[in-house]
Amino acid sequence: MQRLFGTNGVRGITNDSMSSELALKLGKAIGSYFEGNIIIATDTRTSNEMLKNAVISGLISTGCNVFDAKIAPSPALQYYVKHSDADAGVIITASHNPPEFNGIKVVDEDGVELSRNKEKEIEKIYFNERFKKAGWNELGKVYDIDILDFYIEGVLSLANTEKIKEGQFKVVLDCGNGAACYTMPYLVSQVADVISLNAQPDGNFPGRQPEPTPENIKDLMKTVKATGADLGIAYDGDADRAIFVDENGEFVYGDKSLAIIAGYKVEKKRGKVVTPVSTSSCVEDYVKTKGGEIVYTKVGAPIVARKMLEINAVFGGEENGGLIFPEHQYCRDGGMASIAMLELMAEKGKKLSELVKEVPSYYLIKTKVKCENNKEIMERLKNKVEGEKIDYTDGIKVYSKDGWVLMRPSGTEPIIRIYAEGKDEKTARRIADRYKKLIEKELGRD
Ligand code: MG
């Protein structure tokens, strides 16, 4: 059976692997599967109108009614789907990818990204072209809706904002010309003084590329320092991820902010924190000192979210700035992350740089080995590895005295990814090299 959905929905390059024909057919397949009311939203990309209209056309041809929320962050759409009686949601976004990309993501009626089983059902309809056809008098209707205030109010209703004094914080927001423009300045200005960068929606992304990396958010780092702000926050294209900058203008890596907020959450309510096996040990170490427990999953935000639901976790997230707050919803949520960080800083009376220092530091190296039959090689490696502890949650993770390595076959490319972590760069490099050689030996390349 052919596969259409990747780890983050269907992604591709506009008018190439992501075409209006694909969007139309996928709209028909989604509509045939759900047969109900569907809410749709987009980020700010130039190809959104083309793809959204094609998806809507497909949906209404099957008899589904469509509620068009226009441009909105993914978490705003997911929150609305969860609380309304809609049967599903569709988001047109390529998240952090460059401007020429776009994608189609489907969320279930509970607002959580679709499970793999349901994706398979939709793929089956898509590839067999078994589309439902509504009669001329049964076609779906399209309605406009506004979901943004509902999301902003939802986030604020859960925040302990009374701890934040008026005028206490100055925050610089980098909306990256993405969906964040429509909510984040309005949300954060309810609790802090806000300076906004790149807050004009623009699918050409003139301010910066959509992924909040240290290279892409240099302007934010400079502005935080120059304005004497307490915090900087940068969002990706669909505003489900939030990356922080401390009061000195220093980039705070996503594993550190994940650890800080996870530690705060387990202090409040003892319990489990869910994160993928690829996450730095700094999160586990820090969460343990606060009395919490870590549960590891395979890589992928929807997998983390579904595991959190299953075990009733208190918090979860990924090292890329995707944080999941179960009291709000089971998906990555840039708005919740922003308010939670301010709430935490107010309660602790600490600057972000001080909070970062409390989290242990490790060095992580990501590399890869080219390998055609990557899944078969991974099977063979299972008998070749030795360590203090071996974890098969996703690929093979081997813990040694001075760190760990994770080897995973890519699902889409002929490669094996290697993540190696140690106390310092030298150790991490030694671990990475050792396992790279082991894989190459297995490939007969030594
Ligand atoms: Mg995203």
Strands of 193-197's sheet, edge to edge?
193-197, 170-174, 231-235, 242-245, 251-252
Q: Active-site residue among 95, 278, 280, 338?
A: 95
CB 43 within 8 A of CB 114: no
SS3 content of the chain, % helix, strand, coil (to 5): 35, 25, 40
* Share of residues in the chain with pLDDT > 70 (%): 99
pLDDT at 112 over 80: yes
CATH architecture of 10-146: 3-Layer(aba) Sandwich (3.40)
Q: Predicted confidence band at 372 (pLDDT cuts at 50, 70, 90)?
A: confident
Mean pLDDT of 162-181: 96
pLDDT at 93 over 70: yes
Residue that has been written with the tokens 């702000």 in this structure:
229
Domain 151-357 has CATH 3.40.228.10: no
Looking at the domain 363-442, which fold is it?
TATA-Binding Protein (3.30.310)
Residue 169's contacts (CB-CB under 8 Å, 6 or more residues apart) are 191, 192, 193, 230, 231, 342, 345, 346
pLDDT, position 161: 85
pLDDT at 338 over 90: yes
Q: Which of 280, 262, 260, 276 is nearest to 395 (CA)?
A: 276
Mean pLDDT (the chain, rounded): 96
* pLDDT tens by residue, 36-45: 999 999 999 9
Cα(436) to centroid of ligand 1, in Å? 30
Residue type for position 180: A
pLDDT at 412 over 80: no
Mean pLDDT of 381-395: 92
Q: At what angle do helices 334-348 and 148-158 cross, to 10 degrees?
A: 30
Cα(224) to centroid of ligand 1, in Å? 23
Cα(211) to centroid of ligand 1, in Å? 8
pLDDT, position 145: 98
Residues of the chain with CATH 3.40.120.10: 10-146, 151-357
Residues of the chain with CATH 3.30.310.50: 363-442
CB 356 within 8 A of CB 252: yes
* pLDDT tens by residue, 304-318: 999 999 999 999 999
Q: Which pTM does this prediction carry?
A: 0.95
pLDDT, position 162: 87
CB 298 within 8 A of CB 397: no
Lowest mean pLDDT among 194-203, 219-228, 232-241, 376-385: 376-385
Mean pLDDT of 404-414: 88
Cα(386) to centroid of ligand 1, in Å? 36
β-bridge mates for residue 104, sequence order: 10, 92
Residues with CB under 5 A from ligand 1 (ion): 95, 236, 238, 240
> By three-state DSSP, how is residue 288 classified?
helix
Sign of CA dihedral 155, 160, 164, 169: negative
Kind and range of the H or E run holding 300: none
pLDDT at 446 over 70: no
Strands of 37-42's sheet, edge to edge?
10-13, 101-107, 88-92, 37-42, 65-71, 142-144
Count how many residues are written for the chain: 446
Instruction: Quote the CA–CA distance of 227 and 248 in Å, as a whole number.
Output: 10
Catalytic: 74? no
